[in-house]
Structures are given as C-alpha cells and as structure tokens.
Amino acid sequence: MYICISIYFQKLNHRQEIRRKKEREREALILMFGLGAIIMIISPANKHNDASPHDVKASSLFSHQSPTLPRETVFPMFLPRRRHASVASEAFLFRR
C-alpha cells in the first residue's frame, strides 16, 4: 500500500515538473519573440546615414514621411521565399 502511494506521488511530481518545464519554455519563447519584435521595430530607427536603401525606407516609417509602407519593408520575414518564387516562375514559363 505504501509503495503504491509513493509511486503515485512520484508520478504526480513528475507530471508537475514536466508541466512547469513546458510553462517555462513557453514563457521563454514568448519573451524571446517579444524582444525580437521590439529590436526589429527599434533598430531601423537608430540607423545612421550609411544604411542601405531598405533600411532608409524602414526608418522613414518612423519619421512619418511614408505611413503607408507595406509590412514587408519593416519585417523582411513576411517576404516570400526566393526558392518558392523561382520554382513558381519556372513552372509558369514551362506552361507557355
């Protein structure tokens, strides 16, 4: 009887540890993505004049010169992958 109870509590503790670990991992991911987003938003505004034209467009978003820029200008992760775009264009050429 004592052995069964101790095994039950060991399994219960193990499940709680796994749950806590998953919660910590989720919190770390949220923090990491949040910090990444903040850095991506702030960093184009802090660029100097030696920045590329892409960065200049992004920094103009923060100076309110061009408020209607697409989000691809500020967040390059929304751009389509070139690999897929080239495959699609090759498929389009072969269809003709």
DSSP state letter for 68: T
Q: Report the Cα 7 to chain-centroid distance in Å.
A: 41
Domain extent at residue 76: 2-95
| Contact call for residues 39 and 25 (beta carbons, < 8 A) | no
pLDDT of residue 34: 87
One-letter amino acid for residue 80 of the chain: P
Q: Domain total for the chain?
A: 1
Question: Within 10 A of 19 (CB to CB), how many other CB atoms are there?
Answer: 10
pLDDT-derived band at 81, boundaries 50, 70, 90? low
What pLDDT shows up at residue 19? 92
pLDDT the model gives residue 26: 93
Task: Indicate if the pLDDT at residue 21 is higher than 90.
Answer: yes
pLDDT tens-digit readout, 28-52: 999 998 888 888 888 765 555 454 5
Over residues 63-69, the mean pLDDT reads 53
Contact 85, 51 (CB under 8 A): no
Is 74 in contact with 41 (CB distance < 8 Å)? yes
Cβ atoms of residues 47 and 63 within 8 Å: no
| Residue 55 burial (C-beta neighbours within 10 Å; 0-12, 13-18, 19+) | middle
pTM of the model as a whole: 0.38
